[in-house]
Amino acid sequence: MPPQSFTYDQDGNAQIAGARISDLASAFGTPLYLMDEDELLRRIALYKEAAGAENVAYASKALLVGKLVKLIAEEGMMLDVVGQGELEFALRVGFPAERILLHGVYKSPQALALAAKEGVGRVVVDSLDELPAIAKAARTAGRAQDVLIRLQLGVDPHTHPSLSTSVPRSQFGISLDDGQALAAIRQALADEHLALRGLHSHIGSAITELPPFRQAAEALGAFALTVLAETGWWPEELDLGGGLGIEEGAPTPSEVAEQARLGLTPFAEDAHRPVPRLIFEPGRYLVGPCGVTVYRVVGRKRVGDGRTYLLVDGGMSDNPRPALYGAHPAMRAAHNSNAEAEVVDVAGLHCETGDVLARGVTLPRLETGDLLVALDTGAYNHSMASHYNRVPVAPIVFVRNGVARPATRRDSLADWLRFEVGI
Ligand SMILES: Cc1ncc(COP(=O)(O)O)c(C=O)c1O
């Protein structure tokens, strides 16, 4: 699903948010990440409409740059961060601590101390063992920390195995089956430095079906009923995580929110308690389809089995997702020429056989020097970018109404040399 603003003008030049992609490539170089800000605002509005701004926590791991953090703050949303680095970054950019949710399968003592000192809104507990550490950090800061307990519900989201986070083999969340989850709740309730606000579930990412979200809500509701019977505690909040895919036909935020409410209502009625506040943590849905990556074709090559590769000036360093998950982005030429169409594979410039961005795509014949655009690269591309083969990390430029607003610059040899010791 490319941004709605991705179009070709009458001369066949691709545009995004009213700006010509070839002009942006000339101004900022390639590879280049572009973010359609109008599309971003449209997607944020859809989630806010479905759940209420104060109940949407943008999962910043999908893309974390200062401009976006500021926008999320202005939009009245929460921010989901993982670990010390994302937390420090968000605080430094000025995101209000009380609207931050701190995640992580492991949170360092430093991260917990910082969260407690700054008054981070929620810490999401990921294992029984970390409860004492969270409580200790809160005690030292002289406060009680609001926490959510992340559960491993055993719901299969029918996505790539590496994006499935609540199945029994996953390292995330606290298992319901062996009594650990109930033990965590009892422990949190008994500790004066922990304020247990609710439960959390994130079943996975890139989910394209609605039923797993409903199943997760029902599993949370059923567990909440058990906890009520055992302890008398009923959650004020239920955080259903993120996970919405961006393929054509994937569920919408309002469908997910509605299914969550429908799934939970019978349990709340049985409990004679209100349906808890529902929180969502979208990452990919908000930023994925807003982003495109612009590459320059640096070569063409026919190989032994007869296929043609287009070689581009980026690859797995700016987009590791094809190699990690087999998630190949759709490709478009930046100029829709009359050249005869051909079927090609697109490879990056890295020394890895797996550095193939696309297989078997049909494009007008492109020559060295032409521009190629990968679609839907706004999520988990820049945030997972690497310096492999010492390729600089590409800049991100936000575009709105034809106006480009750079969010980050390309890094350089001078930046890398600053990290060297003793040369
Ligand atoms: C706890 C949690 N919440 C939210 C997200 C965001 O997921 P997505 O980008 O699929 O919406 C993730 C992604 O890994 C996550 O681990």
Strands (E), 126-212: 145-152, 174-175, 194-200
What is the SS3 assignment for 314-340?
A: CCCCCCCHHHHHCCCCCEEECECCCCC
Last residue of a domain, one of 227, 262, 287: 287
364 occurs within a structural domain: yes
Ligand 1 atom nearest 288 alpha carbon: 9
Same domain, 132 and 264: yes
Give the tens place of pLDDT for each residue, 301-347: 999 999 999 999 999 999 999 999 899 999 999 998 888 999 999 99
Q: Is the CB of 361 under 6 A from ligand 1?
A: no
Instruction: Tell me the pLDDT band of 60, cut-offs 50, 70 and 90.
Output: very high
Alpha-helical (H) ranges within 232-283 are 253-271
Q: How far are the Cα atoms of 157, 168, 204, 267 from residue 164, in angstroms, in the given order?
A: 7, 10, 4, 26
Residues 258 and 303 in one domain: no
> Residue 88 contacts by C-beta under 8 Å, 6 or more apart in sequence?
114
Looking at the DSSP assignment, which residues form a beta bridge with residue 363?
Answer: 342
How many C-beta atoms surround the C-beta of residue 13 within 10 A? 16
Q: What is the CA 337 to chain-centroid distance, rounded?
A: 34
* pLDDT at 115 > cutoff 70: yes
Q: To the nearest whole number, what is the mean pLDDT of the chain? A: 95
Give the distance (Å) from ligand 1 centre to CA of residue 310: 33
Does residue 350 sit within a domain? yes
Mean pLDDT along residues 64-74: 98
In a domain, 340, yes or no: yes
Q: What is the pLDDT of residue 1?
A: 66
Question: In terms of pTM, does the model score above 0.85?
Answer: yes
pLDDT value, residue 295: 98
Active site residues: 351
Domain that residue 94 falls in: 37-287
Is 2 contained in some domain? no
**Cα-to-chain-centroid distance, residue 293:** 17
| Residue at a domain's end among 261, 287, 313 | 287
For ligand 1, atom 13, which residue shows the shortest CA distance?
Answer: 205
Kindly report, residue by residue over 16-33, the tens digit of the pLDDT.
Answer: 999 999 999 999 999 999
Do 370 and 281 fall within a single domain?
no
- pLDDT above 80: residue 164: no
Our count of domains for the chain comes to: 2
96 in the same domain as 41: yes
Which among 94, 93, 223 is positioned nearest to 166, based on CA atoms?
Answer: 223
Is there a single domain that holds both residue 333 and residue 197? no
In tens, the pLDDT along 118-136 reads 999 999 999 999 999 999 9
Residues 296 and 353 in one domain: yes
Give 205's pLDDT tier (boundaries 50, 70, 90).
confident
Tokens read off for 367: 């020559």
Q: Cβ(281) to ligand 1 under 6 A?
A: yes
Q: Write out pLDDT tens, residues 256-299.
A: 999 999 999 999 999 999 999 999 999 999 999 999 999 999 99
pLDDT of residue 150: 96
Distance 39 CA to ligand 1 centre (A): 20
How many angstroms separate the alpha carbon of residue 285 from the centre of ligand 1?
Answer: 10
Regarding the beta carbon of 126 and ligand 1, being less than 6 Å apart is answered: no
Query: pLDDT at position 170, please?
Result: 79
Residue 422 lies in a domain: no
Give one word for 328, left, alpha or beta, with left for phi > 0 and alpha for psi -120 to 50. Answer: beta
What is the C-alpha separation between 61 and 283, in angstroms, rounded?
Answer: 7
How confident is the model over 218-230, as a mean pLDDT?
A: 96
pLDDT score of 166 more than 90? no
Boundary-marking domain end, from 287, 307, 324: 287
62 pocket-lining for ligand 1 (C-beta < 6 Å): yes
Within a domain: residue 423? no
* b/e sequence 187-207, b meaning 16+ C-beta within 10 Å: bbeebebbbbbbbbbbbbbbb
Query: The CATH number of the domain where 143 resides is what?
Result: 3.20.20.10
- Ligand 1: atom nearest CA of 380 is 9
pLDDT at residue 248, rounded to an integer: 87
Identify whether residues 19 and 90 lie together within a single domain: no
